[in-house]
Amino acid sequence: MSYAGLSLPVRQNKPRNSGLTILIDNGAPMSFLEDTITDAGQFIDFVKFGWGTSIVSNNISKKIACLRENNVEFFFGGTLFEKFLSQKKLDDYYLYLKKFGCNYVEISNGTIEIANRDKAKFINEFSSEFYVFSEVGSKDSDVSGSIDSVDWIEFILEDLEAGAKKVITEARESGTSGLCLGDGEMRFDIIDDIYRSGIDINQIIFEAPTKKMQTAFIKLAGPSVNLANIPLVDAIPLETLRLGLRSDTFYLFDREENK
Protein backbone atom coordinates (compact mmCIF):
# COMPACT_ATOMS: atom_id res chain seq x y z
CA MET A 1 0.00 0.00 0.00
CA SER A 2 1.26 3.48 -0.90
CA TYR A 3 1.65 5.97 1.92
CA ALA A 4 2.13 9.19 -0.10
CA GLY A 5 5.90 8.73 -0.30
CA LEU A 6 6.47 8.51 3.47
CA SER A 7 8.98 6.01 4.88
CA LEU A 8 6.85 3.94 7.25
CA PRO A 9 7.06 0.46 8.79
CA VAL A 10 6.28 -2.37 6.37
CA ARG A 11 3.01 -4.15 7.10
CA GLN A 12 2.20 -7.64 5.83
CA ASN A 13 -0.73 -7.93 3.47
CA LYS A 14 -3.72 -10.05 4.46
CA PRO A 15 -3.89 -12.87 5.26
CA ARG A 16 -1.04 -12.17 7.66
CA ASN A 17 0.57 -14.09 10.49
CA SER A 18 1.83 -11.07 12.42
CA GLY A 19 0.53 -7.60 13.06
CA LEU A 20 -2.97 -8.98 13.60
CA THR A 21 -5.69 -6.53 14.58
CA ILE A 22 -8.63 -8.23 16.28
CA LEU A 23 -11.63 -6.02 16.95
CA ILE A 24 -14.26 -6.82 19.56
CA ASP A 25 -17.94 -6.47 18.72
CA ASN A 26 -19.77 -6.18 22.01
CA GLY A 27 -23.20 -6.02 20.41
CA ALA A 28 -22.78 -3.04 18.10
CA PRO A 29 -25.59 -2.15 15.70
CA MET A 30 -25.35 -3.81 12.30
CA SER A 31 -24.83 -0.47 10.53
CA PHE A 32 -21.94 0.43 12.86
CA LEU A 33 -20.13 -2.83 12.22
CA GLU A 34 -20.81 -2.62 8.48
CA ASP A 35 -19.45 0.93 8.25
CA THR A 36 -16.36 -0.04 10.24
CA ILE A 37 -15.58 -3.04 8.06
CA THR A 38 -16.28 -1.19 4.82
CA ASP A 39 -14.04 1.74 5.78
CA ALA A 40 -11.18 -0.12 7.48
CA GLY A 41 -11.41 -3.78 6.45
CA GLN A 42 -7.88 -3.81 5.03
CA PHE A 43 -6.54 -3.18 8.54
CA ILE A 44 -8.78 -5.69 10.32
CA ASP A 45 -7.94 -9.39 10.49
CA PHE A 46 -10.63 -10.68 12.85
CA VAL A 47 -13.74 -9.60 14.68
CA LYS A 48 -14.45 -11.34 17.95
CA PHE A 49 -18.11 -11.42 18.93
CA GLY A 50 -17.53 -10.77 22.61
CA TRP A 51 -18.78 -12.97 25.42
CA GLY A 52 -22.14 -14.48 24.43
CA THR A 53 -23.40 -11.58 22.32
CA SER A 54 -23.84 -13.87 19.32
CA ILE A 55 -26.56 -15.71 21.24
CA VAL A 56 -28.76 -12.62 21.58
CA SER A 57 -27.83 -10.65 18.44
CA ASN A 58 -30.59 -10.68 15.83
CA ASN A 59 -28.19 -9.78 13.01
CA ILE A 60 -25.35 -12.21 13.76
CA SER A 61 -25.73 -14.01 10.41
CA LYS A 62 -25.78 -10.70 8.54
CA LYS A 63 -22.69 -9.54 10.45
CA ILE A 64 -20.82 -12.71 9.56
CA ALA A 65 -21.82 -12.32 5.91
CA CYS A 66 -20.49 -8.74 5.95
CA LEU A 67 -17.16 -9.91 7.36
CA ARG A 68 -16.80 -12.63 4.77
CA GLU A 69 -17.57 -10.23 1.95
CA ASN A 70 -14.72 -8.02 3.17
CA ASN A 71 -12.14 -10.75 3.85
CA VAL A 72 -12.34 -10.42 7.64
CA GLU A 73 -12.41 -13.57 9.79
CA PHE A 74 -14.38 -14.00 13.02
CA PHE A 75 -14.72 -16.07 16.16
CA PHE A 76 -16.86 -16.14 19.29
CA GLY A 77 -15.57 -15.04 22.70
CA GLY A 78 -14.08 -17.62 25.02
CA THR A 79 -16.70 -16.88 27.65
CA LEU A 80 -19.30 -18.52 25.40
CA PHE A 81 -17.16 -21.67 25.26
CA GLU A 82 -16.97 -21.57 29.06
CA LYS A 83 -20.74 -21.20 29.39
CA PHE A 84 -21.36 -24.31 27.29
CA LEU A 85 -18.62 -26.14 29.21
CA SER A 86 -20.08 -25.18 32.59
CA GLN A 87 -23.39 -26.78 31.55
CA LYS A 88 -21.65 -29.85 30.11
CA LYS A 89 -22.93 -29.03 26.62
CA LEU A 90 -19.78 -28.91 24.50
CA ASP A 91 -21.44 -31.11 21.88
CA ASP A 92 -24.01 -28.34 21.47
CA TYR A 93 -21.20 -25.78 21.22
CA TYR A 94 -19.60 -27.80 18.46
CA LEU A 95 -22.92 -27.76 16.57
CA TYR A 96 -23.21 -24.02 17.19
CA LEU A 97 -19.79 -23.45 15.63
CA LYS A 98 -20.70 -25.61 12.66
CA LYS A 99 -24.00 -23.78 12.21
CA PHE A 100 -22.11 -20.55 11.50
CA GLY A 101 -19.30 -22.16 9.54
CA CYS A 102 -16.67 -21.17 12.09
CA ASN A 103 -13.04 -21.85 11.24
CA TYR A 104 -11.69 -20.34 14.45
CA VAL A 105 -12.50 -20.96 18.10
CA GLU A 106 -11.33 -19.39 21.35
CA ILE A 107 -10.73 -21.72 24.31
CA SER A 108 -10.33 -20.05 27.70
CA ASN A 109 -10.69 -20.53 31.45
CA GLY A 110 -10.94 -16.91 32.48
CA THR A 111 -14.25 -17.28 34.33
CA ILE A 112 -14.78 -20.90 35.33
CA GLU A 113 -12.34 -22.64 37.64
CA ILE A 114 -10.60 -25.35 35.65
CA ALA A 115 -6.88 -26.07 35.65
CA ASN A 116 -4.89 -25.00 32.63
CA ARG A 117 -3.99 -28.63 31.92
CA ASP A 118 -7.72 -29.40 31.64
CA LYS A 119 -8.21 -26.44 29.30
CA ALA A 120 -5.32 -27.81 27.24
CA LYS A 121 -7.27 -31.06 26.71
CA PHE A 122 -10.12 -29.11 25.14
CA ILE A 123 -7.61 -27.20 22.99
CA ASN A 124 -6.29 -30.51 21.74
CA GLU A 125 -9.78 -31.81 20.95
CA PHE A 126 -10.94 -28.71 19.07
CA SER A 127 -7.63 -28.28 17.22
CA SER A 128 -8.43 -31.31 15.06
CA GLU A 129 -11.13 -29.27 13.25
CA PHE A 130 -10.56 -25.62 14.16
CA TYR A 131 -7.79 -23.05 14.29
CA VAL A 132 -7.60 -22.54 18.05
CA PHE A 133 -6.91 -19.30 19.85
CA SER A 134 -6.37 -20.07 23.52
CA GLU A 135 -6.48 -17.47 26.24
CA VAL A 136 -4.36 -17.30 29.37
CA GLY A 137 -5.26 -15.24 32.44
CA SER A 138 -8.26 -14.78 34.70
CA LYS A 139 -10.96 -12.16 34.35
CA ASP A 140 -10.89 -11.84 38.14
CA SER A 141 -8.23 -9.24 38.98
CA ASP A 142 -7.57 -10.81 42.39
CA VAL A 143 -6.96 -14.22 40.85
CA SER A 144 -4.81 -12.66 38.13
CA GLY A 145 -2.71 -10.95 40.77
CA SER A 146 -1.72 -14.33 42.18
CA ILE A 147 -0.37 -15.63 38.85
CA ASP A 148 3.33 -14.88 38.37
CA SER A 149 5.54 -14.85 35.28
CA VAL A 150 6.53 -18.49 35.64
CA ASP A 151 2.87 -19.54 35.60
CA TRP A 152 2.03 -17.31 32.62
CA ILE A 153 4.88 -18.72 30.55
CA GLU A 154 4.09 -22.29 31.61
CA PHE A 155 0.42 -21.91 30.63
CA ILE A 156 1.27 -20.33 27.27
CA LEU A 157 3.68 -23.14 26.41
CA GLU A 158 1.18 -25.76 27.57
CA ASP A 159 -1.52 -24.30 25.31
CA LEU A 160 0.80 -24.14 22.30
CA GLU A 161 1.90 -27.72 22.85
CA ALA A 162 -1.76 -28.79 23.07
CA GLY A 163 -2.47 -27.36 19.62
CA ALA A 164 -3.28 -23.67 20.02
CA LYS A 165 -2.01 -21.70 17.04
CA LYS A 166 -1.83 -18.47 19.01
CA VAL A 167 -2.31 -17.57 22.68
CA ILE A 168 -4.22 -14.49 23.77
CA THR A 169 -3.16 -12.79 27.00
CA GLU A 170 -6.14 -11.68 29.08
CA ALA A 171 -6.81 -8.01 29.82
CA ARG A 172 -10.61 -7.86 29.39
CA GLU A 173 -12.33 -5.21 27.31
CA SER A 174 -11.75 -2.80 30.21
CA GLY A 175 -8.02 -3.42 30.68
CA THR A 176 -8.45 -4.30 34.36
CA SER A 177 -7.35 -7.93 34.71
CA GLY A 178 -4.85 -10.46 33.39
CA LEU A 179 -1.80 -8.45 32.34
CA CYS A 180 -3.32 -5.41 34.06
CA LEU A 181 -4.04 -4.68 37.69
CA GLY A 182 -7.54 -3.83 38.83
CA ASP A 183 -6.76 -0.12 38.51
CA GLY A 184 -5.68 -0.51 34.89
CA GLU A 185 -1.92 -0.37 35.49
CA MET A 186 -0.04 -2.73 33.20
CA ARG A 187 2.03 -5.53 34.73
CA PHE A 188 5.22 -4.77 32.84
CA ASP A 189 7.28 -7.25 34.86
CA ILE A 190 5.20 -10.15 33.52
CA ILE A 191 4.92 -8.65 30.04
CA ASP A 192 8.71 -8.27 29.80
CA ASP A 193 9.26 -11.84 31.05
CA ILE A 194 6.86 -13.23 28.43
CA TYR A 195 8.54 -11.17 25.70
CA ARG A 196 12.01 -12.34 26.73
CA SER A 197 11.01 -15.97 27.37
CA GLY A 198 11.96 -17.17 23.89
CA ILE A 199 8.37 -17.86 22.88
CA ASP A 200 7.79 -16.78 19.28
CA ILE A 201 6.15 -13.36 19.67
CA ASN A 202 4.05 -14.07 16.56
CA GLN A 203 2.29 -16.78 18.57
CA ILE A 204 1.20 -14.28 21.22
CA ILE A 205 -1.78 -11.94 20.91
CA PHE A 206 -1.95 -9.19 23.54
CA GLU A 207 -5.37 -7.86 24.46
CA ALA A 208 -5.02 -4.07 24.30
CA PRO A 209 -8.36 -2.25 24.54
CA THR A 210 -6.86 1.16 25.34
CA LYS A 211 -4.47 3.47 23.47
CA LYS A 212 -2.09 3.30 26.43
CA MET A 213 -1.84 -0.48 26.12
CA GLN A 214 -1.65 -0.45 22.32
CA THR A 215 1.21 2.05 22.45
CA ALA A 216 3.07 0.08 25.12
CA PHE A 217 2.94 -3.19 23.16
CA ILE A 218 3.98 -1.49 19.91
CA LYS A 219 6.94 0.08 21.69
CA LEU A 220 7.84 -3.29 23.19
CA ALA A 221 7.43 -5.58 20.19
CA GLY A 222 7.19 -3.32 17.15
CA PRO A 223 4.46 -2.39 14.66
CA SER A 224 3.74 -6.03 13.81
CA VAL A 225 2.70 -7.07 17.31
CA ASN A 226 -0.61 -8.96 17.46
CA LEU A 227 -3.32 -7.03 19.31
CA ALA A 228 -6.87 -7.95 20.32
CA ASN A 229 -9.95 -6.55 22.06
CA ILE A 230 -9.60 -3.42 19.96
CA PRO A 231 -12.79 -1.29 20.01
CA LEU A 232 -14.53 -0.95 16.65
CA VAL A 233 -13.79 2.78 16.57
CA ASP A 234 -10.04 2.16 16.98
CA ALA A 235 -9.29 0.20 13.79
CA ILE A 236 -7.78 3.15 11.93
CA PRO A 237 -6.34 4.94 15.01
CA LEU A 238 -4.47 1.72 15.88
CA GLU A 239 -3.06 1.49 12.37
CA THR A 240 -1.70 5.01 12.67
CA LEU A 241 -0.02 3.99 15.94
CA ARG A 242 1.58 1.02 14.18
CA LEU A 243 2.89 3.28 11.40
CA GLY A 244 4.22 6.09 13.60
CA LEU A 245 1.59 8.57 12.46
CA ARG A 246 0.57 9.61 15.97
CA SER A 247 2.55 11.50 18.56
CA ASP A 248 2.77 8.42 20.81
CA THR A 249 4.92 6.49 18.28
CA PHE A 250 5.96 9.40 16.04
CA TYR A 251 9.75 9.01 16.37
CA LEU A 252 9.91 5.35 17.36
CA PHE A 253 10.54 3.80 13.95
CA ASP A 254 12.57 6.72 12.57
CA ARG A 255 15.04 6.16 15.40
CA GLU A 256 15.20 2.43 14.70
CA GLU A 257 15.98 3.08 11.01
CA ASN A 258 18.74 5.49 11.93
CA LYS A 259 20.49 3.17 14.40
d(Cα 145, Cα 20) in Å, to the nearest integer? 27
pLDDT in tens, 49-95: 999 999 999 999 999 999 999 999 999 999 999 999 999 999 999 99
pLDDT in tens, 172-221: 888 888 899 888 899 999 999 999 999 999 999 999 999 999 999 999 99
Closest CA to 167 of 136, 190, 193: 136
H/E stretch holding 132: strand 131-136
Residue 255 has pLDDT above 80, yes or no: no
The fold for domain 21-257 equals: TIM Barrel (3.20.20)
Average pLDDT in the 44-52 region? 97
**DSSP alpha helices (H): ranges in 204-245?**
211-221, 235-242
CA angle 118, 119, 120 (to 5 degrees): 85
d(Cα 133, Cα 106) in Å, to the nearest integer? 5
d(Cα 118, Cα 120) in Å, to the nearest integer? 5
pTM given for the model = 0.95
Residue 256 has pLDDT above 70, yes or no: no
- Judge residue 202's burial from the number of C-beta atoms within 10 Å of its C-beta, 0-12 exposed, 13-18 middle, 19 or more buried: middle
- Tell me the pLDDT of the chain averaged across its residues: 94
